[in-house]
Amino acid sequence: MSGPEEHLRADAVRNRAALLEAAAEVLATAPDASLAEVATRARLGRATLYRHFESRDTLIAAIRAEALDRAATALAAADLTQCDTREGLRRAGAALVPLGLRFRILLAEGADTDPEFLAARDRTLAPLAALLERGRATGEIAPTASTPWLGLTLAGLLMTTVRAAAAGLVDPTDAGELVAATFLDGFGG
């Protein structure tokens, strides 16, 4: 039998999740959107939003932390350490594109102002950097391209694929293969 505290706890968990989901959607498409817009999208009041997140900064920090956790979990499950570059890119795309707007939050402009966040993001995305480095070492990727440049290029491709999947232009189940083929082969036939 559950008491009132357990019910409130479930409501609080559900409300927090709804707020994070709404914030990821709203802020990924309109970074300057108000917190009132986030609360409206979550179908909750502003007071509920402020009970969970005292400011815009704490809300954004929570979104980033959740996005980092999800990306780390997805990349760990993809196991990029035991595969060639093409398979690793396929796995990474298949793992990260379904994270959708939350993954975009990690790569959004303006995210580069917080050194702690940048360090956490670099740790989370380290398996991708290692994959790109291995690809350069084996010749699967041109050794003249620097790993930082390759990382930025891959991030752009992943963000574009996320946007395309959200718009219904790409089937999310094909995202991994599309990312790998585009990154390694370009658009040539």
Q: What DSSP string describes 136-183?
A: HHHTSS-TTS-HHHHHHHHHHHHHHHHHHHHTTSS-GGGHHHHHHHHH
The pLDDT of 85-107, averaged and rounded, is: 84
pLDDT in tens, 125-175: 899 999 999 999 999 998 888 988 998 899 889 888 988 988 899 888 899
Is residue 28 predicted with pLDDT exceeding 60? yes
CA-CA distance, 136 to 138, in Å (whole number)?
Answer: 6
Mind listing the pLDDT tens digit for each residue in 39-52?
999 999 999 999 99
**Which domains does the chain show, CATH number per domain?**
1-54 (1.10.10), 61-185 (1.10.357)
Helix axes of 147-166 and 126-138: crossing angle, nearest 10 degrees: 120
What is d(CA 49, CA 36) in angstroms, rounded to the nearest whole number?
9
